[in-house]
Amino acid sequence: MHRITVVGGGFAGLTAAITAAEAGAKVTVYEAHHTLGGRARTAEGPYRTNEGPHALYNGGPHWIWLKQRNLIGPLAPLPPLEAARLRLRHHGVLRRTPPFALLKLLRPGVRQAPVDADFLSWATGIAGEEGARAAANYSAVALFHHDPGALSAAFVQERLRRATKLPPEAHYPRGGWASVIDRMAARAWNLGVRIETLSRIDTLPTDAPVVVATSLPAARRLLGDDSLTWPGGRTVLLDLALRTRRGDAFAVSDLDAPGWIERFTAQDRTLAPAGEQLIQGQIPIAPGERHADGLARAEELLDLGFEGWRERVTWRREAVADGRTGAVDLPGRSWRDRPAVDRGDGVYLAGDQVAAPGVLSEVSFNSAVTAVALILGRSALDLKHA
């Protein structure tokens, strides 16, 4: 029987633990925090906030894997009336429909974007500079980066297509992501996985293979490996609770600059007390840009989509996520160039900044399954569909 250690009890760590235990391995998970979840953790209390806006896309293998094991649980569907309240800021005003030039990039016949070119240059050849910039800024909902147009065209195109697909791929687990994490933890426990919280690992065990399912900076410190770096985003996160008002937007997407504000209680009333609504926003900021600059842009979007919001605030929280929103690929680089899953000497990486395909949490899932497959000498595809 294989013995496997998993460092980190977030989505990647729990995926690795469940996959390995289902294949017959004896697994121990160490989590430094007192609760599981990592960036998929949902805050306790009257306002059920995630660490930044979260959605579960149904277009990847992780969705099938979770669904087969009944780990997704109840979803909070977005009512059609609320969906009709999506607004786009363009040239400083709100509009209901995207500019026509942006739609040129979403046509079925558009060719596959190249890896080597930046998105803005490639997209300008199809939709003109204005349409290309609007598309790049819209894609920030799945990128969390201050300049999506400077990233690899292939990287941005994939996320733009996924974020604009109809019907939408984004789904919302009722009660926040913690509900999914709780079911995953219960599944792991029932499979015999030993889970140790408040257990920070400073030295890797040498008697068993190890899956390091932490953030890349944490893995770099733990492994003493300065090569474990990859660019990510720097994003201002804003959480607000407002007294309910009829007519508020469901979401405001900024096409003039990267940024997104969403009213999560539009689909899930359990996230805030009765009579209040929970709004979460993400505004990417450049490396030299101040936290206050991002907040100012967020408040501009709130002024447009949530009339009188300042007088309705009942709770507010601000944070900056620096390199904690997943990998971004510069021109000439793809997911294959990121830090490899197999680090040698029985050490494997899992997370959203390592060499695995997918969008958002799909990268964590694919890397976790790949790590276990390499340990067990099995096919990752077989483990995904086991």
Q: How many CA atoms lie within 13 A of 306 on its CB side?
A: 26
123 and 156 housed in the same domain = yes
pTM score: 0.94
* CA–CA distance, 239 with 45 (Å, rounded to integer): 14
Q: Specify the number of domains making up the chain.
A: 3
State the greatest distance between any 2 C-alpha atoms of the chain, in Å, as a whole number: 62
* CA–CA distance, 93 with 307 (Å, rounded to integer): 14
User: Does a cis peptide bond (omega within 30 degrees of 0) precede residue 167?
Assistant: yes
- Per-residue pLDDT reduced to its tens digit, 348-386: 999 999 999 999 899 999 999 999 999 998 766 667 666
Q: Which residues, 6+ apart, have CB-to-CB distance to 167 below 8 Å?
A: none
- Per-residue pLDDT reduced to its tens digit, 119-161: 999 999 999 999 999 999 999 999 999 999 999 999 999 999 9
Residue 315 sits at the vertex; the CA angle it makes with 313 and 316, to the nearest 5 degrees, is: 95
pLDDT bracket for residue 318 (50, 70, 90): very high
Examine residue 165 and state whether it is found in any structural domain, yes or no: no
246 and 218 housed in the same domain = no
pLDDT bracket for residue 199 (50, 70, 90): very high
User: Any idea what the CATH number is for the domain that residue 300 is in?
Assistant: 3.90.660.50
Mean pLDDT of all residues belonging to the chain: 94
Residue located via tokens 């426990």: 189
- Per-residue pLDDT reduced to its tens digit, 16-28: 999 999 999 999 9
CB 105 within 8 A of CB 131: yes
240 and 278 housed in the same domain = yes
pLDDT at 345: 92
247 and 286 housed in the same domain = yes
- Burial class of 67 by CB neighbour count within 10 A (0 to 12, 13 to 18, 19+): exposed
Examine residue 213 and state whether it is found in any structural domain, yes or no: yes
User: Any idea what the CATH number is for the domain that residue 56 is in?
Assistant: 3.50.50.60
User: Hey, what amino acid is at 333?
Assistant: R
pLDDT bracket for residue 186 (50, 70, 90): very high
* CA–CA distance, 325 with 51 (Å, rounded to integer): 10
pLDDT bracket for residue 94 (50, 70, 90): very high
Tell me 203's DSSP state.
S
248 and 305 housed in the same domain = yes
* CA–CA distance, 358 with 162 (Å, rounded to integer): 10
More reliable by pLDDT, 51 or 196: 196
pLDDT at 382: 67
pLDDT bracket for residue 53 (50, 70, 90): low
Examine residue 90 and state whether it is found in any structural domain, yes or no: no
241 and 310 housed in the same domain = yes
Domain extent for 347: 3-72+174-230+331-384
Mean per-residue pLDDT for 193-213?
A: 93
pLDDT at 383: 72
| Gap between the terminal Cα atoms of the chain | 18
- DSSP-based three-state secondary structure for 382: helix
Residue located via tokens 């979260």: 54
Above 70 in pLDDT, residue 71?
Answer: yes
* CA–CA distance, 35 with 42 (Å, rounded to integer): 10
Above 80 in pLDDT, residue 307?
Answer: yes
- Per-residue pLDDT reduced to its tens digit, 154-180: 999 999 999 999 889 999 999 999 999
Examine residue 350 and state whether it is found in any structural domain, yes or no: yes
pLDDT at 379: 65
Q: Hey, CA dihedral for 42, 48, 54, 58, is it positive or negative? A: positive
- Per-residue pLDDT reduced to its tens digit, 38-51: 988 898 889 999 88
138 and 11 housed in the same domain = no
State percent of the chain over pLDDT 90.
88
State the pairing for strand pair 342-344/313-327. Answer: unpaired
pLDDT at 157: 97
Tell me 42's DSSP state.
B
* Three state DSSP letters for 122-164: HHHHHHHHHHHHHHHHHHHHHCCCCCHHHCEHHHHHHHHHHHH
112 and 189 housed in the same domain = no
